[in-house]
Amino acid sequence: GCILDGKLYPFGEIAKTENCFRCSCSQDAMRCCSLFHTPVGFDKDNCKVVFNKESCDYDVVQKSDPSKECFVYSRV
């Protein structure tokens, strides 16, 4: 298998690792892609970015009230 972040994964396709990556594990290498997109276009003065491990994505919330989401107009 392959080891990523101290955890052993079996050979083959891994749909989702503990840290939100999709990977392919072979005898030669382990190749991974992130399952999340980083927000870059939002109101940086009034909002902050928080990683949501359940949804494997970033939430952008108001600094003054984290229960309220902010509008994100671009992600990479």
Summarised one tens digit per residue, pLDDT across range 3-50 is 998 999 999 999 999 889 999 999 999 999 999 999 999 999 999 999
Contacts of 44 (CB under 8 A, 6+ apart): none
Residue 42 class from Cβ within 10 Å (0-12 exposed, 13-18 middle, 19+ buried)?
A: buried
Q: Where are the domains of the chain?
A: 2-34, 39-75
Closest CA to 3 of 53, 15, 18: 18
Contact 46, 62 (CB under 8 A): yes
Lowest mean pLDDT among 41-45, 66-70, 71-75: 71-75
Contact 51, 60 (CB under 8 A): no
What is the arithmetic mean of pLDDT over 54-68?
95
Put simply, whether the predicted model's pTM sits higher than 0.95 gets the answer: no
Q: Is the pLDDT of residue 66 over 90?
A: yes
For residue 45, the 8-state DSSP code is T
What is the arithmetic mean of pLDDT over 41-70?
95
Residue at 27: amino acid letter: Q
Place of tokens 């902010």: 70
Q: Is the pLDDT of residue 76 over 90?
A: no
Indicate the CATH number of 39-75 among 3.30.420.40, 1.20.210.10, 2.20.25.590, 1.10.10.10: 2.20.25.590
